[in-house]
Amino acid sequence: MATALADASRNASSPIKLVSDSDGNQKHVPPSKQTEGVITTVSLGDGAQQAAETCDPWDPINWPNRKKIMCLLSLCYMSFMTDFLAGYGVPMMVPQSKEWGISLVDATRSLSGNTATQGFGGLFVVPFAQRFGIMPVMFWTSTATFFLTIGCAVVPGWIGFIVLRILQGFFSAAGQVLGLTLIQEMYRFEEHARVVGFWGWAVLVGPYFGPCLSAFILRSLTWRQSWLLVSGFIGLGLLSVILLMDETAYDRHFEENNPRRPPGFIRYRVFTLSGARGYQMRGTKSIARGFLDIWKVFKQPHFFLLWLAHGVQYMWSVGINGTLISFVAPPTSKGGYGFSTTMLGLIYFAPITAIFNDYLQNKSIRRNRGGFKPEHRLWGMYVSTPFMTLGIILLGWTLKLHWHWFVVAFTWGLFVFAAMTSTVVISAYVLDCFPDETAQTAALLNFSRVLFGFVVPIFQRNWSDAIGVQWSFTAQGFICLVALGFVVVVQKKGKMWRQKSQMGPMVIWAKEVHHGLI
């Protein structure tokens, strides 16, 4: 999609517009070619930029609020289902190991494979979404996920089950990596923080809600029936994509690049879901260019350092989610809590209590009279990281000293709340820094969670057995604290790095501070 980069003085009434084409080359847009009401990014001097208004009803940013909410809810639901499906299979490992006569170690391979391929699947869908649009990618990947989930319920052997789970993880990742793109296209800057928080909550509660619900379902159904049931959840999400979502790819600067909208609801749905609309749209990036842009974003120092910080901090929540059952399920005589299936469901419900807001953004905007620098967002990391450190350290000592299970739930919830908060902070920051590479940044952040989180369950339990659960969790807490150093460096050097990259604005001017959830 073309990128608006206007360059004009503060008092210019008709700024000269510069547009980047699919190859990143800038060119002037003559007044005769400027679409009426188009959003432009006007330079106000010293790198400051401000979005102008738009009046085109087909522009996603001007859609009715109800339509935006429907699109966002549909995408959030499918984003939620990505890690929900991964965690959903955790309580099923015991009955599966008994049915197939395999060890629990072998039974966990399906979870590891599903988690690993999420990262690669996210990177893979980005170039296709940029070339053909969000709608066809969401439709075809959701369709594949639906049938693969049904296959998980009827597959006869554990090798086939592992293969299906690996493919399921690959195709289910689309919603998570396309969320920032949809938010960027539909919402103005002032709304980003709270909308990113809402979407981030949907993304990050999935791995905890999955085991929670699965544990309760297994009380009444077999594990195969449980997979058939959850395939209905995927089918519901697929219907929401077909009926509620709409394509957000829109060229705001060259109206002739946007394909004509066919009449009729069914014809238009077929036109967008099949990928025909994206194929006919001119000025989009090639698939090869989309893959190259992933590397272009990754090598930026301010992104890479936050990518490391995000992975190092969030990896422990993945490890705890996968191994906590080994600490609380054993009987009390063996140092555990003797949790039943119901109690396991309750303990996995603990982290689903996180709530986000855009308080820091609004405060910064008011203090700077409407101006906002992306580094202002990173102050939220100084709030979340100490709580993250405190939560995981207390969790380790709670498990060691065998305090009440409520303390286990509280300390784990504290850590995950902080991890979610830091995820929203970093996501909002990269959204500001890379407004035209939102899919790439989301895919790379998702890959960091998968890459770092994938290795933790491998050594988590052995590490705790070797030095004690209290000391291993204490070390993990201090590692989270040390990772804050990457954030400090980005706050000091971020402005310089952003200026060199020329991939985003130096200062964003907000006309109004918004409140509320959506």
Local mean pLDDT, 10-residue blocks, the chain (518 residues): 35 37 43 39 42 67 90 92 88 87 79 85 89 92 96 93 94 88 83 78 79 86 94 95 90 78 88 87 82 91 94 82 61 59 49 41 46 76 91 88 79 82 85 84 88 78 82 92 94 88 62 46
Q: How many angstroms separate the CA atoms of 467 and 397, rounded?
A: 13
Same domain, 122 and 28: no
Residues recorded for the chain? 518
Domain limit, last residue, from 13, 30, 51? 51
Q: Domain range spanning residue 123?
A: 60-509
Same domain, 368 and 421: yes
Same domain, 177 and 94: yes
The pLDDT of residue 249:
85
The pLDDT of residue 36:
39
The pLDDT of residue 466:
86
Same domain, 29 and 171: no
Same domain, 46 and 165: no
**Cα within 13 Å of Cα(463), Cβ side:** 18
Same domain, 311 and 330: yes
DSSP-H helix ranges across 133-222: 134-154, 158-171, 174-186, 189-217
Q: How many angstroms separate the CA atoms of 290 and 482, rounded?
A: 34
Q: Which helix (H) or strand (E) holds 347?
A: helix 341-347
Q: How many domains does the chain have?
A: 2
Q: How many angstroms separate the CA atoms of 35 and 256, rounded?
A: 10
- Does residue 166 lie in a domain region? yes
- Does residue 89 lie in a domain region? yes
Write the single-letter amino acid at 108.
Answer: T
- Does residue 16 lie in a domain region? yes
The pLDDT of residue 303:
94
Same domain, 272 and 345: yes
Question: For the chain, what is the largest distance between any 2 Cα atoms, rounded to a whole number of angstroms?
Answer: 80
- Does residue 376 lie in a domain region? yes
Cα–Cα nearest to 477, from 381, 395, 407: 395
The pLDDT of residue 49:
45
Same domain, 340 and 454: yes
- Does residue 109 lie in a domain region? yes
- Does residue 514 lie in a domain region? no
The residues pairing with 20 across neighbouring beta strands, listed in sequence order, are 3, 26
Query: CA angle, corner 59, sides to 53 and 61, nearest 5?
Result: 60
- Does residue 516 lie in a domain region? no
**Is residue 159 within 8 Å of residue 113, measured between CB atoms?**
no
Same domain, 345 and 237: yes
DSSP-H helix ranges across 244-380: 265-273, 276-280, 287-298, 301-328, 341-347, 359-367
Which DSSP symbol is given to 66?
H
Same domain, 99 and 187: yes
The pLDDT of residue 180:
81
CATH number, domain of 135, equals 1.20.1250.20
Same domain, 69 and 37: no
Q: How many angstroms separate the CA atoms of 512 and 488, rounded?
A: 29
The pLDDT of residue 335:
58
Same domain, 80 and 12: no
The pLDDT of residue 31:
40
- Does residue 517 lie in a domain region? no
E-assigned strands of 292-379?
371-372
